[in-house]
Structure 1
């Protein structure tokens, strides 16, 4: 259980990236009052948690309705996470987040940033949605899913703390240290994504290889 919690916690932490969300939130809410910043941070976490819970509980049913196998989703989700990892290593993800935040900041009518862009797509984005669906499909026992949910809740609480302490945290950490941390997390995420892809490929092709090994050589040669 502890191993699963640590693995899920690290995965969610890397994908959601609380240290990366903090400076974006600080820049978006620089003109807001302390109470409004607190309310928007709590609202963003609550909405993101609801979105992720919906995909965790009903994501598999959606895949079944679309005729998509879990192994295919593991491979696709792994590829998606690997792309995110590459963007983290080369700081492309940070640039995209900053440009999105700037677009919101330039819009005078966009005062409440709790729903967009904070809750979605920054916290409950494609990466975190794919991760929660992958983990819930891989661990189908209720106790395992509760552990995964606990890991997600822990990361969301850390994200809430990072948003609330965004200003002081940014001054304490600094942009250079944040960039180093982001790249290290990107390397870890790349390894986790590769494991998802490997597991999906093995589950997809191992039965085919086993069946082929049972066929006599004369039949294969015609």
Structure 2
């Protein structure tokens, strides 16, 4: 169970990337009061948690209703995560996030950034949705499911802490250290993505 928790924790950490969300949120909420920044951070994490929980509990049933096998979803999810890993290694993901954040910041009507872009797609994006469905699908039993949800809850709390402390974190880390961490996490995510594809192929070929 500990091994499963650590594996799920690392997967969610790499995909959701709390340190990567912090600078984007710091830039988007720069003009807001401290109370408003705190409220938006809490709202963003709660909304993302609800989205991920729905897909964790009912995602497999949704796939069955659409006639999609779990093996096919594992392969597709693995490919998607691998593409995200490539973006992280070559810093394209950070640039894409910053471009998206800049568009929201330029919109005078988009004052509350908690739902978009923070909750979705930055926290509960395609990668994190695919990850939670894949992990829940390959680990049957309520005990293992609770371990995965516990790992997800841990990362969401860490994400909330990162958003609340976005300003100090950015001053402490600096752009260069953040870039190094992002690249290392990208390599780990690439390996996890390949494993998802291998699992899907093994199940599909049985």
TM-score by length of 2: 0.99
Partner residue in 2 for 1:62: 62
Partner residue in 2 for 1:133: 133
Q: The residue matched to 2:36 in structure 1 has which SS?
A: helix
Q: Residues of 2 paired with 1:40 and 1:54: CA distance? A: 21
Equivalenced residue count is 206
Taking the TM superposition and a 5 Å limit, the aligned residue runs for 1:13-162 are 13-162=13-162
1:111-163 Cα shifts (integer Å, max 9, x gaps): 00000000000000000000000011101210000000000000000000000
Q: Residues of 1 paired with 2:81 and 2:23: CA distance? A: 22
Unaligned runs of at least 5 residues, structure 2: none
1:90-118 Cα shifts (integer Å, max 9, x gaps): 00000000000000000111000000000
Q: The residue matched to 2:140 in structure 1 has which SS?
A: coil
Q: Residues of 2 paired with 1:136 and 1:199: CA distance? A: 14
Report deviation, 1:168.
0.6
Q: Residues of 1 paired with 2:79 and 2:109: CA distance? A: 36
Q: The residue matched to 2:112 in structure 1 has which SS?
A: coil
Taking the TM superposition and a 5 Å limit, the aligned residue runs for 1:171-186 are 171-186=171-186
Q: The residue matched to 1:110 in structure 2 has which SS?
A: coil
Unaligned runs of at least 5 residues, structure 1: 208-222
Q: The residue matched to 1:82 in structure 2 has which SS?
A: helix
Q: Residues of 1 paired with 2:106 and 2:67: CA distance? A: 42
Partner residue in 2 for 1:203: 203
Report deviation, 1:51.
0.2
Q: The residue matched to 1:43 in structure 2 has which SS?
A: helix
1:20-78 Cα shifts (integer Å, max 9, x gaps): 00000000000100000000000000000000000011101110011111111100000
Q: Residues of 2 paired with 1:135 and 1:60: CA distance? A: 11
Partner residue in 2 for 1:187: 187
Partner residue in 1 for 2:6: 6
TM-score by length of 1: 0.92
Q: Residues of 2 paired with 1:5 and 1:29: CA distance? A: 33
Q: The residue matched to 2:147 in structure 1 has which SS?
A: helix
